[in-house]
Structure 1
Amino acid sequence: MPDTATPVPTDARVLGISDSAARRVAFLIRQEGNPALMLRLTVSGGGCSGFQYGFGFDDTVNEDDHVFEKDGTKIVTDDCSLDLLAGATLDYVEDLIGASFQIKNPNATASCGCGNSFAV
């Protein structure tokens, strides 16, 4: 079955979530034992390309947060991070060299080899 994400216009202030990312986040939340958890995706200054992605679990939605949901799995990001993530898709990829969350970000003009940082 192909992995799909809801198509997202690149100028929209939304974040797409692939099927595999939703499944992996749901699995990790079950492992944590707290169904109220969401994956928090942030963007901060740093990394070898200027900005870097951050991932962590959170059970709180702040006033400036945006929550995106797919199949009951919630991804939360703050307003400033969403400016740099608008139109991006969160994916989870497994291949021969490992497995990782990846951001397919149409706003990034360059990224580093590891995929954890980017420039706009």
Structure 2
Amino acid sequence: MSFTVTPAAEKFIRRLLMFDGGPGSALRLAVSPGGCSGLAAEFDVETTPREGDKLVEVGGLRFFLPAESRLLLEGVTIDFSETPTESGFVFHDPKASSCGCSTEEPAESVAGE
């Protein structure tokens, strides 16, 4: 099991664990296919794993991961983005193909006169 957590995501996760958890708590991260990045996630701070979860430690952070999440996170970089309009985890998966759901508008073509 190998995934990376960026400094921005690490800071966010550590805050969650500090304010919502206690000793031995971990971030339960349930990842599923979907979303623009190819992955969608639900997360919560929990003190014990649920049935089927596995404890995974990355960079000193503890995660409870269901089986599907462990498969989907292989090789992924977890980042955290915060803008004035939204915030959340961003998953960079080198295995995923682009879905083409960019907010950029196509360049206008200029017809010759």
TM-score (normalised: structure 1): 0.62
Q: Deviations over 1:18-70 (max 9, x none)?
A: 11111111111221152322111122366699863222222224565140322
Larger radius of gyration: 2
| Unpaired segments ≥5 residues, structure 1 | 1-12, 114-120
Task: Out of 80-89 and 102-111, give the one that drifted further.
Answer: 102-111
| Root-mean-square deviation over aligned CA pairs | 3.0
Aligned to 1:54: 42
Query: Larger strand proportion, structure 1 or 2?
Result: 1
Q: Provide the C-alpha distance between the structure 1 equivalents of 2:23 and 2:48, rounded to a whole number of angstroms.
A: 12
Aligned to 1:79: 67
Q: Provide the C-alpha distance between the structure 1 equivalents of 2:82 and 2:34, rounded to a whole number of angstroms.
A: 26
Output aligned runs, 1:1-120, within 5 Å: 13-44=1-32, 52-61=40-49, 65-70=54-59, 72-111=60-99
Aligned to 2:107: none
| Unpaired segments ≥5 residues, structure 2 | 102-113
* Cα distance, 1:106–1:23 mapped onto 2, change above 3 Å: same
Q: State the identity as a percent.
A: 29
TM-score (normalised: structure 2): 0.65
